[in-house]
Amino acid sequence: MTKKVRKYEEFLVGGREEFLKRVEEGYRIFQETRTYAYPTWQYGEPKGKLFKVEVEDSPRFGETAYVELDSARTAFVAIDMQTDFCGKNGYVDVMGYDLSLTAAAIKPIKNVLDAVRGTDIKVFHTREGHEPDLSDAPYNKVLRSKIIGDGVGIGEKPEGGLGRLLTRGEENWDIIDELYPIPGEVVIDKAGKGAFTTSNMHLMLKNAGITHLVITGITTDVCVHTIMREANDFGYWCIVLKDCVGATDYGNHEAALKSIKMQGGVFGNVSDSERFIKAVKEAGLK
């Protein structure tokens, strides 16, 4: 008896072959130019100006490459630059961590904001926090915060604190003055470490036509990494600016950056504020 070989939907073959041709072309361009070229076949003609940002350690450690972006389809994202994470009497401070490690990202982020404001690069800010009644706060998250905070956790106000920790509407929950959003910039409130499942960030990025994300904020190993991983799975091109991110533990910060660069950039690419600002200026975006 001849065994019947089941064939999967044959109409998918043509699409797959065309897609792999595009991948092969992108591979050829990268080999010749060390550039992740902006794929016009996927996104259409650029809406703004194409510009290249130098990135490091891609695809092998010790090498330099470039990512090509369309300025009008690029979003600069500042993640959770809130008093709770980098200011006195906020959540991180109450937990007993060294604030200088997260606050170190403030000045470089401000430098990049100064460079992109007034261009067609869009600016997005995120804030992590919970409803005042904690209805969107998981029990285990709140419990862990109370344990590490020596009895003061999410939803409670520490002695001498500005307000209830990680609670929407409180002074400590808001973005710090140095990096506060200006009119026209987007603020996304999220209830978790990620943003693609706990906010409308993905919808807002898609509505704005965004394809590339330049990621900054805190903390490198938690909210920054979670959002980058989410964005990568949705097909966004991601660049983390390493001096514009910080963690409560420097070892975790370094490990988080290293993990991005593994496997030729498994989650995206790593650069820094100076190289990004240089690319913006050389492109004449202002």
**Amino acid found at 109:** I
48-102 pLDDT tens trace: 999 999 999 776 767 789 999 999 999 999 999 999 999 988 888 888 899 999 9
Within-domain flag for 56: no
Task: Decide if pLDDT at 6 tops 70.
Answer: no
Within-domain flag for 31: no
Label residue 5 by pLDDT band (50, 70, 90). Answer: low
Out of 57, 70, 80, 243, which one is annotated catalytic?
80
- Identify which has the larger pLDDT, 2 or 231: 231
Within-domain flag for 12: no
Mapped onto helix, strand or coil, the DSSP state of residue 182 is coil
Question: How many domains does the structure of the chain reveal?
Answer: 1
Q: What is the CATH number of the domain that holds 174?
A: 3.40.50.850
Out of 86, 223, 238, 244, which one is annotated catalytic?
223
Determine the Cα–Cα distance for residues 223 and 173; give it in Å rounded to an integer.
15
pTM of the model: 0.94
- What six digits make up the tokens of 117? 């404001």
114-169 pLDDT tens trace: 999 999 999 999 999 999 999 999 999 999 999 988 899 999 999 888 999 999 99
Within-domain flag for 50: no
> Is 233 a catalytic site residue?
no
Within-domain flag for 217: yes
174-204 pLDDT tens trace: 999 999 999 999 999 999 999 999 999 999 9
Q: Taking Cα atoms as reference points, which of 90, 111, 116 lies closest to residue 219?
A: 90
Label residue 26 by pLDDT band (50, 70, 90). Answer: very high
Out of 190, 193, 242, 261, which one is annotated catalytic?
190
Q: What is the DSSP string of 9-29?
A: -THHHHHHHHHHHHHHHHHHH
- What six digits make up the tokens of 247? 């963690």
> Is 110 a catalytic site residue?
no
The residue segments making up the domain with residue 147 are: 71-282
Within-domain flag for 5: no
> Is 190 a catalytic site residue?
yes
Within-domain flag for 10: no
Task: Decide if pLDDT at 3 tops 90.
Answer: no
Within-domain flag for 208: yes
